[in-house]
Structure 1
């Protein structure tokens, strides 16, 4: 296999990863609170050929001396874009939208590794009975994951709920017909370094599985907004945040990647034809 085939094959596999990223963005254009991903490429190793032994003959040259032959490109990083999505008014008391781009709700998720804390921007919440008891309800996400308070405890309301109001700093005030008024502080974190976060299914984010190998502290990545830090919280009740996916931009990116994919495929075809031509020479 010649150098052209190697370079094109390496790039094709990485373009497929970018195509998957764009497809995921397009599929989640209507997902509440979804954050788009951006794929960035870097060059693989480059081989330098110093084909001109006499440097004096290169005087006036505007490009670096020699010839650099690459081996393709790879997907260097997939970044999470935390730009704020537009707000959609629903007038539903359990719909909550975060109005600062770095804020996330804390939820508890049960998976194969046990119970873990995850983070989401999806504020479409519901009340569900605890163990079938109508006199005790829990605040959950649309997927049934418990929404946590500022101390990472599930928000459980005792009594028959008659009214729910949520303040701008994330305090929940619940009126019940037989237990009076109850207050809860929603668990909200501020993510300062989203590039460390791992996107999971179900519109959830989490610290990466290899977090202990990254030599960073949790506090450097995200901060739990408790105590005086709750003044940094900004939420709106009766609204939901739309995804920050720009469908027109994603379609343009999709067309560009498809053209790049076709170009690399054509390069492999041309290399194969050239090898056939060389092998047919007698």
Structure 2
């Protein structure tokens, strides 16, 4: 296959992947706790072809030469990585006691996802729009759940249960939950399982604002190197507020326009290469 066609074809496919990343960011502008992503390109294998060897080179020509002694032929580029931007989004006041935000950009709520064996596996989320629904097993307690129905976990990885009939719910910055009953009685209702993710580039999106970690053993990394429980004095929970997405609309639109131009130029190089091949074929006939 013509090397120019191969390089252009590969690059077109990778630009489409970056376009999908930008489109995903724009589509989630209104998603609570969403973190934008930015695709990074890497060069594929390239080959250096020199126009002449140093033994036959004219010393005068080489002394005055400003351009390389040959050309570099590449195989295109690929999306090498998709970096998550953890910068803090703006906070929106809601007044709902079950709406929570985190002001530390590396802290996450622990959420339970049902695994293949039916057991809860930890996931992580910045989306603090929670609900409290009756527990089917016990009508006297409420389960603290995400909008999509996953249980919110405590530091021990267990679902958080709230007393039914509370009139007010108070959550401090450390994530300690206190339920105020109609008679004024205050009941300790649990603790949010807050963690700090030290290597956010390892997080894999599972949709609905949830992230999981890959098999860390294959990467030679321990879980304690990636996820660290948040100390009580380092919590950053804000009650009655939600964190908006951190998508920068202006940046995404500029990236979208640049990617469209890059796609057009790369597609044009395919057309030009095809025309040149046709010209060569016509000369050989």
Which TM-score applies when normalising by structure 1? 0.93
2:10 match: 10
Q: Secondary structure at 1:59's aligned position in 2?
A: helix
Write out aligned runs for 1:112-123 (5 A).
Answer: 112=116, 114=118, 115-123=120-128
CA distance in structure 2 between the aligned counterparts of 1:62 and 1:207, rounded to whole angstroms: 50
What do the CA deviations read for 1:231-252 (whole angstroms, capped 9, x no partner)?
Answer: 1111111100000001111111
Moved more, 65-74 or 247-256: 65-74
Which has the larger displacement, 269-278 or 98-107? Answer: 269-278
Would you say the 8 A contact 1:80–1:195 is kept in 2?
yes
Please state if 1:155 is matched with 2:160: yes
* Count of paired positions: 278
Offset of residue 222 of structure 1: 1.6
Match of 2:70 in 1: 66
Q: In structure 1, which of residues 174, 199, 206 is the aligned counterpart of residue 212 of structure 2?
A: 206
Say if 2:267 is the partner of 1:265: yes
Contact 1:151 1:187 (8 Å CA) reproduced: yes
Asked whether the equivalents of residues 163 and 179 of structure 2 are also in contact (C-alpha less than 8 Å), the reply is no
**Does residue 220 of the first structure (1) align with residue 225 of the second (2)?**
yes
Q: Distance in 2 between matches of 1:150 and 1:161?
A: 23
* In structure 2, distance between residues paired with 1:62 and 1:248: 39
Larger CA deviation: 134-143 vs 29-38: 134-143
Identify which of 146, 151, 167 aligns with 1:141.
146
Please give the residue correspondences for 1:122-133 in structure 2 after superposition, counting only pairs within 5 Å.
122-131=127-136, 133=138
1:133-153 residue CA offsets vs partner (Å, 9 max, x unmatched) = 442111111111100111111
Residue equivalent to 2:248: 246
- Whole-Å Cα distance in 2 between the matches of residues 60 and 216 of structure 1? 52
- Rounded to whole Å, the distance in 2 between the matches of 1:46 and 1:13 is 18
Distance 2:236 2:35 in 1: 18
3-state DSSP of counterpart to 1:258:
helix
What's the RMSD between the two structures over aligned residues? 1.8
Give the distance between the partners of 1:60 and 1:163, measured in 2 at CA: 81
Structure 1, unaligned stretches of length 5 or more?
none
1:78-111 Cα offsets, whole Å, 9 max, x none, are 1111000000101111111100100100010125
TM (norm. structure 2) is 0.92
Identify the match of residue 84 of structure 1 among 78, 88, 91. 88
- Contact 1:159/1:177 (CA < 8 Å) preserved in 2? no
How far is 1:182 from its partner?
2.2
User: How has the CA–CA distance of structure 1 residues 45 and 250 changed in structure 2, closer, same or farther, with 3 Å as cutoff?
Assistant: same
Q: Aligned equivalents of 1:19 and 1:91: distance in 2?
A: 37
Q: Distance in 2 between matches of 1:180 and 1:134?
A: 20
Q: Equivalents in 1 of 2:167, 2:238: separation in Å?
A: 20
Give the 3 Å change call, closer, same or farther, for CA 137–266 of structure 1 in structure 2.
Answer: same
Question: Where does the alignment leave 5 or more consecutive residues of structure 2 unmatched?
Answer: none
Q: Helix, strand or coil for the counterpart of 1:213? A: helix
Q: Do the aligned partners of 1:43 and 1:73 also contact (CA within 8 Å) in 2? A: yes
Inter-CA distance 270–32: structure 2 relative to 1 (3 Å threshold) = same
